[in-house]
Amino acid sequence: MARVVPSVEPMGTVRSKTRIWLKEIRAKFLVGSVALAFLGTSIAWRDGFFSLRYAVLGFIGLVLWHISIQVLNDYFDYRSGVDLKTQRTPFSGGSGVLPAHLLKPRSVLKFALVCFALAVPIWTYFVIAKGLLLLPLVGLGAVCVLLYTPVLTRWRLAEISSGIGLGILPILMSYFIQTGEYTTEAVVASIPCGILLFNVHLLNEFPDVEADKVGKRKTIPIVLGRVKASWIYLAGALTVYVWVVAWVAVGVMPLTALLSIVTIPLALWTTRGALSYKDKVIFTPILWANSLCLIFTLALLASGYLLSQY
């Protein structure tokens, strides 16, 4: 009896589809959610609170909403024509999946909304289990996810909503689901992270100015120009480190939080690149440095809180 050899085509199709969807969700950017959740949980751990179950569940909720906002951004940019005009870099211009017709726009929209919806029961559970004080943050986070691209980017709130929704809120939410409260220290620690996310998105907008105008966006580089936007970036970068040093000096943040200032040389190099913006080819290494500065600063700040126990 002849042996039946299974076809490898279906497996190849699955792998191909998986690669396309990983490209669509821009998986490498989800590292930011890991770092933010790590920081919020580290502060809670230092304060004597830690539940692995809560940490994992909260992390899943954050990642689902992070995926949702990125995929919705791709969908709305394609529908508005932004992604048809942009010249993509590894950090701007979208995933390129929809302009290449690798997925159907309707499928992408459904996927984004499903990811958003899957996180809702998680946050509902935490509101019930830990307290109603979490609800305002969940509500604000939902607004940032659903309205970022179609509304907030047109209301001159793109960078601010990124700083709040992708920076401050994840840290405070990660802290609250462990402790059931907010503290001055948790809020203080979240502010520089919000500024870092503000700066990351601000710099990522530099190559997209012409394309973003097609989508009627009102980003800082469009409204004020790249030169003034560069100085805003510089002010934000300096504020991050001054903020940490100042709060360590008054005893609100632990001495070990100063580990985060190790990234100052990287931030200065990135700032220099922002001030001398020329073209996308030259600028791509600056965008890499910008993202690395964010991740390393968050990781070092979180490590500082963990080490402060010893």
In a domain, 80, yes or no: yes
| Residue 260: CATH number of its domain | 1.10.600
In a domain, 19, yes or no: no
Report if residue 4 sits inside a domain: no
pLDDT in tens, 247-282: 999 999 999 999 999 999 999 999 998 888 877 667
Kindly compute the dihedral angle of the four CA atoms of residues 132, 133, 135, 141, in this order, to the nearest 10 degrees. -160
Instruction: Tell me the C-alpha distance between 210 and 85, whole Å.
Output: 8
Helix 105-130 vs helix 52-80: crossing angle, to nearest 10: 150
**Residue range of the domain that includes 190:** 29-307
Instruction: Find out whether 296 and 269 touch, Cβ atoms under 8 Å.
Output: no
Q: How confident is the model at residue 3 (pLDDT cuts 50, 70, 90)?
A: low
| Both structure tokens of 83 | 């992604």
Mean pLDDT for 40-69 is 96
**Rounded Cα gap, residues 201 and 203, in angstroms:** 5
Q: Tell me, yes or no, whether 8 lies in a domain.
A: no
Q: Is residue 226 one of the residues assigned to a domain?
A: yes
pTM above 0.85, yes or no: yes
**Is residue 17, in this structure, part of any structural domain at all?**
no
Per-residue pLDDT reduced to its tens digit, 58-117: 999 999 999 999 999 999 988 988 877 777 777 777 778 888 889 999 999 999 999 999
pLDDT in tens, 12-27: 677 788 888 888 888 8
State the total domains in the chain.
Answer: 1
Give how far the C-alpha of residue 249 lies from the chain's centroid of Cα atoms, to the nearest Å. Answer: 29
Identify the pLDDT of residue 1: 47
What are the DSSP calls for 27-56, one per residue?
A: GGGGHHHHHHHHHHHHHHHHTT---HHHHH
Separation of alpha carbons 282 and 42, rounded Å: 37
Domain annotation covers residue 223: yes
Dihedral over alpha carbons 175, 38, 241, 232 (to 10 degrees): -90
Look at residue 13 and tell me if it is in a domain.
no
pLDDT in tens, 122-163: 999 999 999 999 999 999 999 999 999 999 999 999 999 999
- Banded pLDDT at 11 (limits 50, 70, 90): low
Whether residue 194 contacts residue 236, with contact meaning beta carbons closer than 8 Å, is answered with: no
For residue 292, give both structure tokens.
């690395």
Sign of CA dihedral 302, 202, 24, 145: positive
Query: b/e map of 281-303 (b: 16 or more CB within 10 Å)?
Result: eebbebbebbbebbbbbbbbbbb
